[in-house]
Structure 1
Amino acid sequence: MRDRTATGYLASLSGQAREISVAICQDAAEQIPRLARAGTAEVAAWSEAAVAAALRVVSGEAGAEALVAHFVAFGDEGAAADEVLRAVTLCRRHLLRASLRALPEVAGAAEEIERLSASFDAAYEAVGRYYAALAAARCRDGSARFRGLVNAIGSVIVVIDVDGKVIDWNGDAERVYGVPREEALGKDYFEAFLPPEAHEAVRADMHKVLAGEPTKNFENPVVSRDGTVRLLQWNVDRILDGEGRPAAFVASGYDITEHRQNRDRLEQSRGEVQAILDNAPIVVFVKDLEGVYTFSNYLCDALFGFEPRWMVGKRDADFLPPETVKQNRDNDAAALAAGRAVESEELIPTTDGSRIYMVSKFPLVDAGGAPYAVCGIALDITARKQAEEDRARLARDIIDAQHVALRALSTPLLPIARGVVLMPLIGAMDAARAALVLETLLDGVGAHRAEAAILDITGLHEIDAEVATGLVQAAQAAALLGAEVVLTGVRPAAARTLIELGVDMRGIKTLSSLQQGVTYAITRSSRARPPARSS
């Protein structure tokens, strides 16, 4: 996670490097006499080198010593202490101002900003030690020089004796506390400049410093004259007297109120986003390029019976079967390759059984446009898919029922008298319908014990060889069941066709009208039945 955060933060600063260098160059030319005398090209080169050293620290290529070396080298060239410290202040201000632009965009950027800030702390301390050593060697009584150094450092400097009384502070302290140096001297630091709730923590820290344990990055609130509360971060050490005993504390601090407010706002924003996603009726997750989960909302973990955030740091293979792992990996890769949102259906085993999800996956990119993760948003569509299947099944059932009904309508078989059935044929006749006629006729003859079956072809469009063959086959099959087939409605055109086709009509009684056919069939059926016995 840190590597990705550092990469995003580095990309943000790198993209602003030119702008930062120009801003430092402009201020340095106005505020640092030695650089102003050097000329525009030299100031620009010096500013670019300062930004490059800071970027090396951010990237991890070098430690704080890269910044320290850049500013100490400026001193070696003959720059005065206040000029070097002013240069450190300028570079720090512009780099941190640019860093704050990345704060809402890059997760974890606040930690990287603190790391860069700590590098500048080291530069301040190193420059201070450098010039303190020079001052001690050149002038034992250089209090005036020391005063100039303290005022030029660009951070709050407070010196307090072991009883808690202020014995010195610089111009930045005057600005933060709103109290001139002469007025602050001799005041009880705790009572005058600290809120009551901070007393205990600050006293405990001072006890550690007295014992020889310098403090780094200690934070506490302070109160200015107008009642404004500011948050400062301190580096604290002790000052020894000529006999090596602790005589005072010297504290170097930076006002981090706005930085902390920005970070708190960012954390609040993250919390709000987390709360929204945790209460959304959708599954949301993020996986890095190695397939490791870096985010999961409440519903995502709950699907598998996990505690909230359990999935963070895990991979699919830690809780899903191999076939699901492959499915997810392939869809992740498709989204990364497409560089946009890609939708797919995924079958996921959950505590409620296998569920079908419509998943939209898309790449997340850093400030440089390079993808660093895949985000997935998934909606459970199991019920919808089941409803679709149910509708499809119902549609098939309806179609089947309609087909049966249509078959019945296309070949109706009507029992019109005892032993007599009628099948009127209407419309066009093809091989499939001819087979249906045969099937229906045989079933009807058997079911009704018919002795005569009337096939009325008055409504047929035309009679061809296929139709004629079907009628003959129907008559022959009915005869095998003991029934005579009577063909009615034979019009002149149909009769001519049957003759021309040479159809063998033996065994089939043909009559011109349906009425004649019905009379014939009923009369035949009556003769065929034995007379009823008298009692």
Structure 2
Amino acid sequence: MTSVEDLTAELADLREQIAALTRARDEARLERDELCAAIMGMPAAVGVMTGPEHVFKIVNGAWRDLEPSYEPLDRRLVDVIPPPLGPRIAAALDRVFATGEPLVAANVPFTFPGATEQTFLTFHYSALRRESGDIFGIVFHGLNVTAQLRSQQEVQSLNSRLRTFLALAENAPDSIVVAERGQITYANPAFRRMFGYGQEGVGTPLLELIDDESLARLGAHRQEGASPGAIRALATCRRQDGSTFPGEISTFPIRDEDGQIDAEGAIIRDLTEQRRVEQERQGLQEDLIAAQQRAIRELSTPLIPLAARLVVMPLVGTIDSVRSEQILETLLRGITEHQAAVAILDTTGVRSMDEQVASSLLRTAGAARLLGTEVILTGISPEIARALVEIGTDLSGITTLGTLEAGVAHALGRRARSKRRY
């Protein structure tokens, strides 16, 4: 029979065991609470789903912050996340639940109600097992990678643009350079060809590419601007060997993310070929103008041989001093060339005649008479006849007839009389 002392000792032992179990329970609760607090406070979305239908049992604040309207506890995943995304995630979780193999789903897109942009999360799914090894749920860890993904996309876009602009610069026919603190840090192949530099072009002072006069002109352009900006000006450019060529230079500031100028860009175009083409075009234009002027003179003062030793010059339009000289020159040359005895000046098409024009015609007739040629003036209109009388023009020594037909008949009759006389 057990003594009182034995019972007392056994009771004390039980009390110690109970106290130890209580302490272990409290420590386990504390660890659980600390673990739950850590999970709940994690910046990543963490939670637990149980059963083959993936019912949410635990979610932390980060999950709730993604979309407060998503109340997941005790609800199936497909009821919390609408199609088409929910069923796709459930299908992936089915494999984890069936095989126990962990799964990583990267950059899963979420479009939350009222959001204008998608949110991307990368999930890690792991199976939860009992002591027996049976799978009873899945723990998930979702990290919001939206900012990271946007940054990657921006970097990719910038790299794509950089490749595009680098290809443009490397294949451009104009020189393209970038200078930092006045020293060239980038030069495209066209620069090396245009200025005669090899790879040593990098490090060359930008100002060495332009002569002093052009530098002064560029400096004046800079002073005219209220703030640093793009400048475009003509300049005399200097090659590495000291030779020069005409160019057009465009400079512009290159700014950093804060808007501060940290470099200067320049595009230089060689105008040598353009200047040569312009000079050729100007020469051709001058030749064309000269040819047109010759044609106009010939058309405005035509000399027509009608018969042996008979020429006619019909005058049309307005006669000024320049044209008067053309008339005199053409008539005297034609008289000599055709050995004309009679020259008819027909003024039917002349619009007006002043004292200067009349004096010029008289001078022309006088010069023709010195060559032994009779001058007949035809086609004088009543208005011109009145004007000649008013200005007192002396037409003595000049035969005047009303029409060109009468003038031609008079000249032919004179020639016939001369033949009969001889």
Residues 1:298 and 2:164 are matched in the alignment: no
Decide whether the 8 Å contact of 1:452 with 1:483 is kept in 2: yes
1:219 maps to none
Distance 2:392 2:161 in 1: 92
1:436 maps to 326
Distance 2:353 2:224 in 1: 64
Change (3 A) 1:354 1:445: farther
Decide whether the 8 Å contact of 1:284 with 1:377 is kept in 2: yes
Q: 2:233 aligns with which of 341, 344, 353?
A: 344
Decide whether the 8 Å contact of 2:210 with 2:235 is kept in 1: no
1:376 maps to 266
Q: Secondary structure at the match of 2:229?
A: coil
Change (3 A) 1:501 1:281: closer
Distance 1:385 1:416 in 2: 51
2:373 maps to 483
- CA apart distance, 1:489: 1.7
Identity of aligned residues (%): 36
Distance 2:232 2:211 in 1: 22
Q: Secondary structure at the match of 1:390?
A: helix
Distance 1:294 1:412 in 2: 70
Structure with the higher fraction of residues in strand conformation? 2
Deviations 1:447-499 (A, max 9, x none): 22222110111222233323322221111121122211111123344333322
Q: 1:499 aligns with which of 366, 389, 399?
A: 389
Q: Which has the larger radius of gyration?
A: 2
Residues 1:453 and 2:331 are matched in the alignment: no
Q: Secondary structure at the match of 2:252?
A: strand
Deviations 1:431-458 (A, max 9, x none): 3322322222222222222221101112
Distance 2:246 2:282 in 1: 18
Change (3 A) 1:367 1:294: same
2:14 maps to none
- CA apart distance, 1:531: 8.6
Decide whether the 8 Å contact of 1:420 with 1:521 is kept in 2: yes
Change (3 A) 1:530 1:380: farther
Q: 1:467 aligns with which of 335, 357, 371?
A: 357
Residues 1:418 and 2:308 are matched in the alignment: yes
Q: 1:404 aligns with which of 254, 271, 294?
A: 294
Amino acid at match of 2:404: L
Change (3 A) 1:529 1:296: farther
Tell me how many residue pairs correspond in the alignment: 267
Q: Flag structure 2 segments of 5+ consecutive residues without an equivalent.
A: 1-151
Decide whether the 8 Å contact of 2:174 with 2:267 is kept in 1: yes
- CA apart distance, 1:508: 0.3
Amino acid at match of 1:407: R
Change (3 A) 1:436 1:489: same
Length-normalised TM-score, structure 2: 0.54
Distance 1:398 1:460 in 2: 28
Distance 1:499 1:268 in 2: 91
- CA apart distance, 1:512: 1.8
Distance 1:459 1:269 in 2: 74
Q: Secondary structure at the match of 1:303?
A: helix
Decide whether the 8 Å contact of 1:316 with 1:325 is kept in 2: no
Decide whether the 8 Å contact of 2:301 with 2:326 is kept in 1: yes
Deviations 1:330-368 (A, max 9, x none): 66x469865222222333244897544333211223455
Decide whether the 8 Å contact of 1:349 with 1:355 is kept in 2: yes
Q: Secondary structure at the match of 2:395?
A: coil
- CA apart distance, 1:509: 0.7
Decide whether the 8 Å contact of 2:234 with 2:246 is kept in 1: yes
Amino acid at match of 2:176: V
Deviations 1:132-173 (A, max 9, x none): xxxxxxxxxxxxxxxxxxxxxxxxxxxxxxxxxxxxxxxxxx
Distance 2:314 2:413 in 1: 20
Amino acid at match of 2:369: A
1:283 maps to 175
Decide whether the 8 Å contact of 1:295 with 1:312 is kept in 2: yes
Amino acid at match of 2:228: G
Aligned 1:77-476 pairs, distance under 5 A: 272=163, 277-289=169-181, 291-308=182-199, 310-316=200-206, 322-323=212-213, 326=216, 333=222, 338-350=227-239, 354-476=244-366
Change (3 A) 1:452 1:503: same
Decide whether the 8 Å contact of 1:335 with 1:341 is kept in 2: no
Distance 1:512 1:356 in 2: 65
Amino acid at match of 1:515: E
Distance 1:457 1:319 in 2: 67
Distance 2:227 2:414 in 1: 82
Amino acid at match of 2:281: R
Q: Secondary structure at the match of 2:396?
A: coil
1:508 maps to 398
2:100 maps to none
- CA apart distance, 1:516: 2.1
Distance 1:288 1:281 in 2: 23
Amino acid at match of 1:294: T
Distance 1:355 1:366 in 2: 33
Length-normalised TM-score, structure 1: 0.43
Amino acid at match of 2:231: V
Decide whether the 8 Å contact of 1:462 with 1:494 is kept in 2: yes
Amino acid at match of 1:480: L
Deviations 1:398-444 (A, max 9, x none): 22222211111111111111211101112223333223222222222
Distance 2:171 2:385 in 1: 81
Distance 1:494 1:269 in 2: 82
Distance 1:371 1:364 in 2: 6
Deviations 1:106-149 (A, max 9, x none): xxxxxxxxxxxxxxxxxxxxxxxxxxxxxxxxxxxxxxxxxxxx
